[in-house]
Structure 1
Amino acid sequence: MGFENFKRAFSLSTTTPYNPQNKPHIFLNLMESFANNALEFHTLNINLLGELEKHFKEDFVFERFLSAANGTAPSLFYLYFNSPIILTKSKYIKTPLGQNPTQIFAKQGYDVIFITSGKGSWFRMGSFLKEQNIKVIDAISLLKDYPNAQKTAYGILDEYMYYKAYELFKTAQKPLLIIALSTSNHPPYPKVYESISKVNLSGKINEKLPKNTYENLNNYAYANSEFGKFVSKIKASDLKDKIIIAATGDHRVRDMKIDPLREKAFAYSVPFHLYVPQNYQKNLYYDKYRLASYKDIFPTLYELSLSETTYYSLGGRNLLVAPSDEKLEFAFNEVVWADNFGVYPLENTKGYFYENNTTLKDTNEAFELDEYHKNFPKSYQKLMFYQLNLRLQNAKTDKNLP
């Protein structure tokens, strides 16, 4: 399939259906190292989810899900700005971009805020976000409200970010989109309360994660539990029917060893958690084993919240609507992609069969690729750069930026 045909097959623009519901608030959380390679060790004796565990049982969770990239900054730009490059490391740091996912909401009357337990100076995010008309609340801002907050190497503990987000939603006068970035689950690990016991860490975990095993998993559990407490607080308030909450991980737990025979895709997988109030759950379809990745997050949020709104889909689709196009049932990461037939490391020309249709782990049994599968990753990456270049060319003449 040539690129022109590929573009037509993966149409850039999609429009949400008519939606009579009031616009909900939205909280989208990009969580540091919130990855499945650690989560598979979650058990009754090693609770790596903490307060988040009950929400995993109550809400929608997609388990066969890939992050777009394998570092925090590139993942953030893929997710929040549909960018395959780190724009703050380019000449476009001061360029106001059209068709940002956040801009789609701003045009529909939303206030947009970026909140992080880290510092706005990280990757010059503060400067970039200002050009996108996005308000920034970072660790320095949070310390003014919470002067006793425990400081970390990157800012302050995540819990204060959630305290602030809750207050922002409680006092919002119009629909509010908060995009977030957590930092506490990052080495050097800050000292946090004990969530798991060292005595319960098995030999298998220590073998898979030989470096800073307890600190790594305890901070992983802390970060998950603090997010879970935020979700619990929302659900116990009058906000529970007015807000959609979503969360995913930025990348794998890097210190965990990869089994190249079984984890070609699984090693890069992260969960996608989604809370949708009952009044927004109209004729939904849910398959927790559906293949997906970052490209599907905002299309899902758009269709749950916005009416007759046009957006760049980039092969993304609403994960809570039944599949209608097999070619869109795929997940894409910068080193591997997957569809319903198998997983495809970008570094080679083979596909690999799944262990079963509930996992991203593979059997290491290879099969030959047809032309479509051989060409797909380069065509998809070309599509990402094509749409970014289109937006950069139009940036200075776009009169509709909020």
Structure 2
Amino acid sequence: MYKNLTYLLKHSAVILVILFFVRICFAIAFVPMGLIGSNLTVLPRLLFNVLRFDMQVVCYVLLLPTVLTFVFATLRKPWTDRVLSRFRKVYYAIVNILILALSGIDLGFFSNFNSHINLTFFDFFNEGPLSLIQAIWEEYHCVYEGLAFLLLSLLILYVIRRIESDKVLARQTNCALGGRKTSRCQLIKLSVIILLYIAFVVIGMRGSVWRFPLQIEDTFVSNQKLLNDLVPNAIYMLKKACKEKAKAFKVESTDDLLAQYKFKSLQEALDVYTDGQIKIAKNDTLTALQRALFAEVGDSLKQPQPNVVIIYSESWSNYLFNLQQKDAEMNFGLDRHFKEDLLFRNFQSVQNGTINSLENLFVSTPFPHFFTSSYRFNTLPTSIALPFKASNYTTMFMSGMDAAWENCAEALPHQQFDAVYDKFFLLKDYPHATYNSIGVYDEYLFQALLDKLNKPSKKRQMITVMTTTNHPPFEFPKDLKLPPLPDSFYGKKCFAERNRKVLDKYLTGFRYYNKALNDFLNRFKASAAAKNTILVITGDHNVRVILNHDVIDKRYEHSVPLYVYLPPYLRKEAYSKLTNRWGSHDDILATLAPFAFRNTKYFKMGKNLLDTSVSDSTYYSANVDQIEAIPSYQKKAERLTAARNLLRQVYFGLYWRTQQ
């Protein structure tokens, strides 16, 4: 048993050497030495995460031969070691050569696409095997690469043979089975070795001994893309691509969508949504849909364009603001800002998850997991960044998290975001900043945001922000001090969560964020940025788990607040009378458009919440799970939402067909 486990570890070392060799090739080919030299402090973390990713591959490869080794050990037959040796030769020859081949393919993929293997890798196989072979032969240096692969494969086979060429194996096996009993000390030693070995394999497969297993965020170790690209191996990236491919959405046929949304024709849906103003002419459905879904903006701005900041606050619940009381501080000074500015309480998120809400804001796609689909490499005409850039804005996404999460760092530049500012930029610019397993604490994110707004800029800035601290596992700054809540507070009927420790974590997250936000707003309003910046602050979705929706009003189930700060030169007294309108995330862009856009068009999913010429009764709030409006407008709102969603899905289906 011990001998066979030793063989497995030796074979594992060969895999590590192969993967390390490929990393050296990658660094020589793609990473400037000056970049490495100027980021030496990152190297320990980089090498550690490289080892984690490679050990995960090693341990998954170990799984099958380990199981066979344990099974054969129970047989105690003289032929088992010989069979295992032959199996290992074949198994590791195949596995190691496949790893080498896949790593080489990944290097070639990176040289052409500046990215490791991703979803587009599978597009090569859509051409058919003959076309694929022809393309590889014509476009790549197959002769030199083939010779290198052959030489390395022969070297690998030689090493495998040397590992398994222990001529005394059979003799040792016969002696072991010849009647000599294993001493108690040897048995204990072997048991400890086996337990340590199993622990090694299990931890290696998980890639972590901490709260979270190895994940895509661990590929980010700095704010330099090429250094981050050194971390993952080809096997992990192929696994990630396969997972994304399995989750890829399906574009449904128009007939199926009509039946789903209960319309007889697209024209009927257009009539409902546009009040009969747009007709499909000459069977040109795409043009009609573009006219219905996009809004044109001329050059009617009479005042300077402001900076625009949209903050999506993690799990920022609308209902929890109702729990403020004298002996239970929940709002931490936000009430003053809510009174001074605009606060919409009849408001919902459109989606009920963080990435879904961000994708809805950024590209308004009707399909989930857009950022992990092959379409993420295309700039969509619905991107929120396009009308801002056309109106002479710079565009940025900021967050305390690793931007590798859900491919944000990869997808957003394709949607015309000029910059993605994440955890590693924050830690570089603010070395004193602290963070948890989710990201840099929100207070430092707000400091970075304020500094960017106050820094002179030739162009106006559009900045979208995603906070992270109010998120499980709810790890807060060590120096955080909040006034305690009374014991009776935790027993309120509105709470579904009865475990006080769990409930307290959720409430602390909400309270911490409100305190950090209030501090930011105080400093913001005292700065020069307040004179020329619009702030739009909302929740990405309602808080989960802790609220009992059988007790509280159903309108709060998906409700998040919407806070709007307007600089003095854009304020109107009439706006304060409009805050009882129903609204959702879809209304944010339409509300900002009159203040920011010039000579452009944008994807208009909602209505301008500050339009004084429209009746409050025609506003509604569309969440994917429920639609809210005044009772007399409820059915109309549901029909409008169905028509809009149908038209949007058909539009995206037609648009993507034109891109293929």
Structure 1 counterpart of 2:398: 115
Q: Secondary structure at the match of 1:265?
A: helix
Q: Secondary structure at the match of 2:343?
A: strand
Q: Relative contact order, CA 8 A, sep 6+: which one is greater? A: 1
2:361 paired with 1:79? yes
Q: Distance in 2 between matches of 1:38 and 1:391?
A: 41
Change (3 A) 1:205 1:38: farther
Structure 2 counterpart of 1:65: 347
Alpha-carbon contact 2:494-2:548 (below 8 Å) kept: no
Structure 2 counterpart of 1:182: 467
Q: Distance in 2 between matches of 1:179 and 1:45?
A: 35
Query: How does 1:95-174 map onto structure 2 within 5 Å?
Result: 95-134=378-417, 135-171=419-455, 172-174=457-459
2:616 paired with 1:322? no
Structure 2 counterpart of 1:195: 482
Deviation at 1:190, TM superposition (A): 1.1
Structure 1: which amino acid aligns with 2:508? N
Unaligned 5+ residue runs, structure 2? 1-262, 278-291
Structure 2: which amino acid aligns with 1:167? D
Deviation at 1:107, TM superposition (A): 1.0
Structure 2: which amino acid aligns with 1:67? S
Structure 1 counterpart of 2:272: 6
Structure 1 counterpart of 2:330: 48
Q: Distance in 2 between matches of 1:183 and 1:201?
A: 29
Change (3 A) 1:320 1:390: farther
Name whichever of 252-261 and 1-10 sits farther off: 1-10
2:586 paired with 1:289? no
Structure 1 counterpart of 2:542: 252
RMSD, matched Cα: 2.5
1:185-216 alpha-carbon deviations (Å, 9 max, x no partner): 00100124133413265120684443412221
Structure 2 counterpart of 1:90: 373
Structure 2: which amino acid aligns with 1:227? L
Question: Matched residue pairs, number?
Answer: 369
1:78-103 alpha-carbon deviations (Å, 9 max, x no partner): 12221222311222121111231221
TM-score, scaled relative to structure 2: 0.53
2:602 paired with 1:338? no
Change (3 A) 1:151 1:178: same
Q: Distance in 1 between matches of 2:482 and 2:654?
A: 47
Structure 1 counterpart of 2:647: 383
Q: Secondary structure at the match of 1:226?
A: helix
Which structure would you say has the larger Rg? 2
1:217-239 alpha-carbon deviations (Å, 9 max, x no partner): 11211112212222221210122
Q: Distance in 1 between matches of 2:434 and 2:565?
A: 29
Change (3 A) 1:44 1:198: closer
Q: Distance in 2 between matches of 1:170 and 1:281?
A: 21
1:162-184 alpha-carbon deviations (Å, 9 max, x no partner): 11111111122310010000000
Change (3 A) 1:386 1:325: farther
Unaligned 5+ residue runs, structure 1? 345-368, 397-402
Structure 1 counterpart of 2:530: 240
Q: Distance in 1 between matches of 2:652 and 2:520?
A: 34
Structure with the higher helix share, 1 or 2 = 2
Identity, in percent, stands at 24
TM-score, scaled relative to structure 1: 0.84
Alpha-carbon contact 1:62-1:288 (below 8 Å) kept: yes
Alpha-carbon contact 1:46-1:200 (below 8 Å) kept: no
Q: Distance in 2 between matches of 1:6 and 1:391?
A: 22
Q: Secondary structure at the match of 1:23?
A: coil
Alpha-carbon contact 1:51-1:225 (below 8 Å) kept: yes
Structure 2: which amino acid aligns with 1:113? M
Structure with the higher strand share, 1 or 2 = 1
